[in-house]
Structure 1
Amino acid sequence: MADAKGRLTRVVLDGEALHRISALQQADREQAVRDLAQENEFHLPDQPDLQSILHLSIQEGRLVFDVRDQEDQPVQAVVLALGPFKMLVRDYQMLLDSYANAVAEGREARIQAIDMGRRGLHNEGAELMLERLAGKVVIDFPTARRLFTLVCALHQKL
């Protein structure tokens, strides 16, 4: 169905990480949630018109996409192994730390270079998200990028 209307109406991050997140991580997370609220494509393959609430969490080393209806009732849970994401999340964490240091030092050229690296990692994370969710959840690339950001915010130290 090319003109499916399935989308997320809300994203809830469950099981917040035990680690304190930096101001930059908090800003990234808030921006991803705002962007997802504005525009996204997200639905189950057999329910292309589903307007859903997503409860995203990490449980027992697994990434859980708890898809719910508008009354917040469970529809389907999609569980992914975190292993394939670990290296990207670690690299993303290192880039955020480097970015914070570059900002503190006022090194504009370094800030720009790190920001380009962050965008590249977001793209890699989005590709992996698309690959891992294939056949389970239909999402577009921008939605996958934002979900990857939220995965990083949920679990900083894999």
Structure 2
Amino acid sequence: MTAAMFRLYDVSLDSSLSGRNSHLKREQAIAIDDLLEYNTFVPVGHEGGPYRLSLALADSRLALHITAENGAHVVRHSLSLTSFRRLFKDYFLICESYANALTQPNTQRLEAIDTGRRAIHDDASGLLRARLAPKIAVDKNTARRLFTLIYALFAERHPAAVPEVLQHGLSKLCTGAGVGIAIGIEASRAGQR
């Protein structure tokens, strides 16, 4: 089997959330594109894909349904999100800090916030990999991208748990690869000259 066979070719999200917030929907689309661009996804005991992943939230659980390219069922897995609560809260706070830092750009502060965001992403990806391991093996980058997508799903389901600024289009600054923070740092540097 080649590595290309153990990857996701499609990701879909809970259709009951469709259209609630156009900004979050756009962020989810970006997260899906990032995930599909490069990923390693290996359902334990399966001979190869590529795979389609469907994600849905039910209460405090994430439902994952994986099918093969031909539509055949591969695995269905339900993952409690209880252990992710602190990480969601920390992610919320780091994004809120970033939004507040934009009002008075400071290069060192923006860099520190970006470092914190990356640390939270690393913690979340490690936890996600460990929690998925009995059913699905993923690499670190795939786990990071999946966490971004899960957070975006969570944000849409629980808008009160997401900073208002993120509900209006800045979430890509915190859920993406840090490009927005890098732009903010550059703007801050330009303003300090």
Q: Considering the TM-score relative to the shorter chain, is it more than 0.5?
A: yes
The match for 1:144 is: 143
The match for 1:100 is: 99
Would the aligned equivalents of 1:123 and 1:145 in 2 still touch at CA under 8 Å?
Answer: yes
The match for 2:13 is: 13
Change (3 A) 1:30 1:59: same
Identify unmatched segments of 5+ residues in structure 2. Answer: 162-193
The match for 1:51 is: 50
What's the secondary structure of 1:116's corresponding residue?
Answer: helix
Aligned-pair Cα RMSD in Å: 2.7
Change (3 A) 1:102 1:63: same
Query: How many positions carry a matched residue from both structures?
Result: 156
1:2-151 aligned within 5 A? 3=3, 5-14=5-14, 15-16=16-17, 20=21, 27=27, 29-72=28-71, 74-151=73-150
Q: Percent identity?
A: 33
Change (3 A) 1:69 1:2: closer
1: CA distance, partners of 2:57 / 2:18? 9
Aligned-pair CA distance for 1:63: 0.9
Aligned-pair CA distance for 1:80: 0.8
- Normalised TM-score (structure 2): 0.70
Would the aligned equivalents of 2:63 and 2:76 in 1 still touch at CA under 8 Å?
Answer: yes
2: CA distance, partners of 1:89 / 1:114? 16
Would the aligned equivalents of 1:6 and 1:41 in 2 still touch at CA under 8 Å?
Answer: yes
What's the secondary structure of 2:5's corresponding residue?
Answer: coil
- Normalised TM-score (structure 1): 0.84
Give the residue type in structure 1 aligned to 2:17.
E
More helix by share: 2
